[in-house]
Amino acid sequence: MSILEGYLTEADLAVQLNKSVRTLQSWRQQRKGPPWTPMGTTILYSEDGTRAWLKTLEQQPVRSRRRTEAA
């Protein structure tokens, strides 16, 4: 078992999220996006941290109110 098991590289996460590496870099500069860990010049994302971040983005569908027509 590797000590880095459970971590994704920036490129790996970009592929999984269908985003570019540049987008992830931009998110870090804006202090948004999943939590990350610097390791020298390599950026790592924990799978658990990324899952938790995704959970914070969940939204419930909004039910529209149907207007009742007065007859």
Per-residue pLDDT of the chain (71 residues; tens, 9 = 90+): 888 999 999 999 999 999 999 999 999 999 999 999 999 999 999 999 999 999 999 998 888 777 766 65
For residue 54, give Cα distances in angstroms to 25, 43, 64.
Answer: 17, 18, 25
Instruction: From residue 38, give the alpha-carbon distance in Å to each of 10, 18, 32, 42, 46.
Output: 11, 22, 15, 6, 11
pTM of the model: 0.79
